[in-house]
Amino acid sequence: MDSREALGSWIDGPRATAEKMGADFGHRGARLGLPEEGPGSIAPVGRRLGALFVDGWLCTLIAYGLIARGDASQANLWSTPVFFVMSVLLLSTAGSTLGKRLFGLRVVRLDGGRASVVQALGRSLLLVLVVPALIWDRDGRGLHDKALATVEVRV
- Segment 92-107, tens digit of pLDDT: 999 999 999 999 999 9
Structural domain that includes position 121:
27-154
Produce one character per residue of 54-84: b if its CB has 16 or more CB atoms within 10 Å, e if not.
bbeebbbebbbeeebeeeeeebeebbeebbb
Domain count across the chain: 1
Q: Does 140 map to a domain?
A: yes
In a domain, 63, yes or no: yes
Q: Model confidence at 83, in pLDDT bands (50, 70, 90)?
A: very high
Query: Is 1 a domain residue?
Result: no
Look up residue 55 and give its amino acid: D
In a domain, 12, yes or no: no
Which pLDDT score, from 0 to 100, does residue 27 have? 82
Residue 76's closest CA among 90, 97, 62, 55? Answer: 62
Give the number of other CB atoms < 10 A from CB of residue 38: 8
User: Which amino acid appears at position 138 of this protein?
Assistant: R
Please check whether residue 2 lies inside any domain of the structure: no
- Kindly state whether residue 3 falls inside one of the protein's structural domains: no
- Domain annotation covers residue 17: no
Q: Is residue 106 part of a domain?
A: yes
